[in-house]
Structure 1
Amino acid sequence: MLSGRMLNVIQYIQIKGTTSYKEIANDLNIKERSVRYDINRINDSLSMENKPQIEKCSKGVLKFPENLSLEEVSENNDFLYTSSERISLLLLNLLIRNENFKISQIGNELQVSRSTIKNDMNELSKSLEKDGLSIEYTDHFFLSGPEKKRASLMNREFNKYIDLLINPPINFNAFEYHSIHIIHTSFKGISIPQVLVCINELLEKMGYILTDSSYRWYLSNILCLLWFIIHKKPYPLTLVSTPVLDSHSMRKIQASLSDIIGCPISDAHISTMLYYLEYTRTYSNLNQPMDPAYVESLVHTLISRASQIFSLPFEKDKILTDGLLGHVVPLLGRIKSHVSLCENMIDILGPEEMDTYEQIKKICLETEPFDQIENEDEFVHFAIYFLASMKRIGSIPCKKILLICGQGYGASVMLREALLSEYQIEITDVIPLYKVPSYPNWHEVDYILSTVDIHGELPKPYLLIHPILRASDHIAIEELGIPRKELLSNFFHFSERLNFLASDDQKKIMDLLAQQLGYQKTEKPV
């Protein structure tokens, strides 16, 4: 039997006609010793089938025999895949075609034993751990982990096969054929060439010309998006773009794609496609990763870890998220090119901000690829983003509430205290229903909360609630635009300054303070 690597060697020699061991090793990125081994194995196999062999000449020159065709070799050999090829095929199956993923079935497809597949799965598991992903099993194997990271990995894998989709070779080798077969099968018979035509039409209408590498990145993102649509799975990224096409052109492309894939394409999907295109154009000349899913997963990791350490809701700060998304892309380019900032920015941080800086630096060093940062200025940049967010979170303005409650003094006081402990509000007045028509201070009110139904129009937004707040009331209050109380931006620093106390005493003080202030979560997570 011949391996997939040997088939690549045969195909290379056929194309070249005359070549050498060294040239094959350089162009196919394999060791010259391995090339010599492969040639001997190939000739042994050809000899057994009474076919002309690859001619070995002096000085390491090799010639392809005139009376041998690659098709003959392909038809008469069961080709084995290299370990790396098998792992690539396993990953592709796990990402896009895992419904019937079982070891026995995959072993039959790849013509190897169950133990070989298990060894390959172990190797794949080790590499997936770096992305925070794992392989799990119920009635079939599947990838487990954050959806954004899975989408990012799917995009990177699609990117490897784009050239085979847009410019397929005349003769596929076994690995190429198998990988493309998996992709086409996962798209449920949809014509990928028709999708390419539609995408190219979009580029033409927008007047964009991308480099080949940029086009591959854009197309892999779009195929990833379409895969989620076809399989009726929610796309894990919400990317909004300012429309750059007139509505008629957008509707036409939207309708064309919907017809091709047999599924409705929403306005949000079209907006995502335009976002990817603008993103790809913007960063196509920076010689760095352009995968928005990957960038967003990195930002999500930073924000999530910082939220845990500082006990602050950074994930609710859209300004922070947008700022980090724009900052991370050029940073990845600097990391890749080993470019260091030399701005001595550490001097702009005051003593009270150094704790935050050290915590943010620690988060970065625990997150790939930020652990490769060679300059402290980069950590200062990150710290500044989070320090600014802390100030925004700590300065959320109180909403002014007029509370209408006619159930008596006791009920009014109970409801008032419940609202003040839960929400970032100031209650301007508590009045009964009959005083509403003559109420004079509407200019001081943002919202009206009432325990009795009010008929007629009111000058401010109004919500009917129960005297004893229920879950539905909390949902409605937040939807109205009244924010819940959040931890103070300096709460973490206050906790740090109690470190002279025993841990139990420190916890009691923080819990008491939290109770008095009405906060729900106060502990710094360990």
Structure 2
Amino acid sequence: MTKRELEILKYFIKYNGKISYKLLSEFLCINERSIRYDIDKINEILKSNNYSQIEKVEKGQVEYKNLDILSIVIDKFIRCIDLTEYKDEIILFKVLFLERINLKNIEDELGVSRTSVKNILKVVKEKLKLNELKLEIEIQKGLILVGTEENIRKAQLKFILTYSKEIYFLNIIEKYYAEIDREKIEKFLNLIIDNTKHIISDEPYTNLYYYILIMIDRLKKGKSILEVENQVFFQGLKEYKVINKFLDILEKEYKIKVNLNEKVRLTDYFLGSHCYSAENSSYKFWIEIDIIAKKIIKIFSENMGVDLSKDKVLLKGIINHLKPTIHRLKNKQILENSILKDFLKLYKPIFMGTKKSIKPLKNFINLEITEDEIAFLAIHFKAALDRANKLENRKNNILVVCSSGYGTSKLLSQQINENFSVNIVEVIPFYRLKDYSLDSIDLIVGTINMDEVDLKKPCITINTILSKEDIILLENIGLSKRKSRIFLSDLLETFKRSGVIKNENILIKDLSLLMNEILINDIHEDEPKLSDMLEEVILDVECGSWEEAIRMAGKIMIETEICDITYIENIIERVKEFGPYMVMSNKVALPHSKNNGNVFKSKMVLMNFRNDILFPEETPVKTMLTFTSQDENGHLDALSNFLDLVSNYKFLEKLENNPSKKKVIDIIKKYEFLSNLGKNRDIN
């Protein structure tokens, strides 16, 4: 008798001996003609064994009255099935449910060689590995199953759901649980469904039923779950309270004790059995929610350009977080103690990377995920990125993006290098970003908003001049702070006291290569000072608009042959195109552009306005330093000193007192003098 013929007999038993050709055709996915042919063959077998035959009772209906005979026939012919057809599954069943196997016994039972058994075991071990289980050798006992109780049960349930449709395995599963009376399980299930008023369709009901069957069997054998996550969350649910109320039905009937961990896990499975997806088959994702978690991690890794797929701590964290998240969203519960505002302030790129990665979760529950929930999920990714950076122990590759790719972008790169142990790969203008190869880039840092470009890498927008908040943001996103630095001149003095330096230039070159991260090369030609670069200082300026202010500074630069009109027009075009990217957080603007052959000197014009003027996006500006740079680097020290004065020495407050141009220059020169002595803190 074929497997399909045996399945037909099973359906006769299931439907109390009477069923239609049409229904059998739908169940077995074959046409009615094939069903009629199979029933004719079954009747031949029944007749040859002196059993009564299946009869046609009315149009399209067939009947067999003696169901006991059918059970005997099924049992008889199942024994005749070629077991080698199921050899992999048979061994997997024995491993999962008996938890040990003996190779010699398997050889005899299946009639195969030791080599064949070993080859089958390789396949079985791979399947076990997917459930975090393994086989270990136990002396004189053969191979035993090793793994957590949670994973063993999950693997058993998966086996039953996968193979119970096969008549051979349905039979051995039924025999395995034959001593457990199923009636009380159904009573218990119906009670908790009625009292929670949940609607559960057939497939998840069957899955839940089988899990309870497995739980009873394991507890009767003294195998209990030792640890579960989210106990507090589950214990607070009404479903937990209902389950706890009726559990005595199972405890008394099967003489078992259901502990707290078992109650929590049963509540977990019950939650997954209703209302979480329109597709019944999606229930399996609740049981194996790691499928969703792994998909989210995979997408996040692709978006952020870092492989987190092997981070088990991250996987466990995401898995444990998803079920409470789903429950809150489905029940429209507001998340308490929101961290959204703080997280966005510190880790916006990680938040955005997480937000782009949660599509599998959205598809599963068919709901939008709130930003509060995303922030809590993003915490797990932040910790994973920190672990990845620590393990990798390498410099982050940084791409710096500015509106033009020049000017203050060089200063920004210098500041990042001074504060963090990173590798600035390149400084590029914004228009190149879309086509730039980002394979080796870890982080994109820009002075303009980059949201409009679909990037597969984390990116953040910061000020052209790093504020304390910017430094905190870069540090929090995972950049390593640079170690304490030393001056090259001090190092050379030490060497000279200890011996003779034959070639100082070669030594400087070698030290620069060897100690690049912690060495400050203070042996070089003096860069132009801020006081030298200031062409003009104009205070208490009345001005109607940002464009008028830039043209006013430009007029001075053009008249003193610092640049031509096209340089000023380029600045204005940049502001119109990219907005107030040149404005710092302290109402200081730094208008500038690239030298396209229209800059003749590196100079600066400082202006302080009587009242705030508004740059695009209603951005207020009180002080403006317009500058030019012939070689893209000559202005950096002067600009850095200006911003140090602004940030740390109340320079802007001094400008509000409307001092003379000479007084302003004197303040700057005092700062420069004290800086050389290392006493610039005394400037106040």
Smaller-chain TM-score bracket: 0.3 to 0.5
Choose 1 or 2 for highest CA Rg. Answer: 2
Work out which structure has the larger RCO, using CA pairs closer than 8 Å and 6 or more positions apart in sequence.
1
Normalising by structure 2, report the TM-score: 0.39
Bigger share in strand: 2
